Amino acid sequence: MSRTKVAVIGSGNVGTGLMVKVLRQSTTLKMAAMVGIDPDSDGLARAHRLGVSTSARGVSGLIAMPDFDEIDIVFDTTSAGAHRANAAALGPHGKRLIDLTPAAVGPFVVPAVNLDQHLDAVNLNTVTCGGQATIPIVAAISRITEVPYAEIVASIASKSAGRGTRANIDEFTETTARAIEVLGGAARSRAIVILNPAESPLIMRDTVLALINDPESEHDAAVRHSIRSMVAEVAAYVPGYRLKHDIKITPLAPDAALRTLVGDAPVTHQVSVFLEVRGTAHYLTACAGNLDIMTSAALCIAERIAAVSLSFPVPRRAG
């Protein structure tokens, strides 16, 4: 059975982790090329050892490869600015792009929320690691009741954040906040990222705080059930994803000063959800849950595109 050939641009932590995931896990994708701009990077060296074609000339090196025409999907794991240039260079060649940077050139895709909505798009954006972890929770709440405001905090191990991630901190917060509204359904939002320098490196943690209006607490049980169901959906393709603590739904004080967050929208309760994302340690350690959730989401999207294009059965992965 033929498999869809893919390439990765970017030989840093995310790109290398994604390459390893394709090689180890996918039955519908074939790793055809890994390109970067640092000839001494671990990613390019590892790709070479694994028999994957490489180039240290970035997107131009990819386009010059003899088998470039056979590649259908290109993952971009570089940076927001670099992705815009890469997308422009690849545009005339008819490749499908899955963007793992916060550039947000194409529509946002979080598999548990809207996997099938943009399969015909040329460029699909995976938001951010914090977005992949938290947007499903906001969406789970908003499918039960309106969410006038949602705030997320993503805490990741500093050691797992490569140069591209560090260069894109501002884009990370802006893109995540926008996607919380577009995909999550919140009317207003805020996103915060913390690079935790602790030794030993800590597992990725994400907090979701959502304000809702539920004076009689009639949606309490439905909100909890919706969140737990969504966690199970995400864990189907990100095995290390789980609730860290019980879901909390607490009443707000009548005089709580929330106008700057929700405007005139009435709110009565705060929903607090605490998550953990443990990496599979295919590349780096279990602390790199941020890497794992991004690469798992990108792999899920690419496999669905391949399944639709070639009528393969869609893989369901629990571990």
Helix (H) or strand (E) holding 168: none
Q: What is the pLDDT of residue 314?
A: 44
Q: What is the pLDDT of residue 313?
A: 44
d(CA 154, CA 277): 10
Which tens digit of pLDDT belongs to each residue from 86-122? 999 999 999 999 999 999 999 999 999 999 999 999 9
Active-site entry in 35, 112, 115, 129: 129
Give ∠ CA 102-107-111 in degrees, rounded to 5: 90
Distances (CA, A) of 18 to 156, 159, 216, 220, 300: 18, 17, 46, 38, 11
Whether 129-286 and 4-127+291-310 are alike in CATH topology: the answer is no
CATH superfamily of 4-127+291-310: NAD(P)-binding Rossmann-like Domain (3.40.50.720)
Which tens digit of pLDDT belongs to each residue from 119-146? 999 999 999 999 999 999 999 999 999 9
Q: Is 227 exposed, middle or buried (0-12, 13-18, 19+ CB in 10 A)?
A: buried
Average pLDDT across the chain, whole number: 92
Q: Which CATH class is domain 129-286?
A: alpha beta
d(CA 300, CA 234): 11
Active site residue 300: no
Residue 53: cis peptide before it, omega within 30 degrees of 0: no
Q: What residue spans define the domains of the chain?
A: 4-127+291-310, 129-286
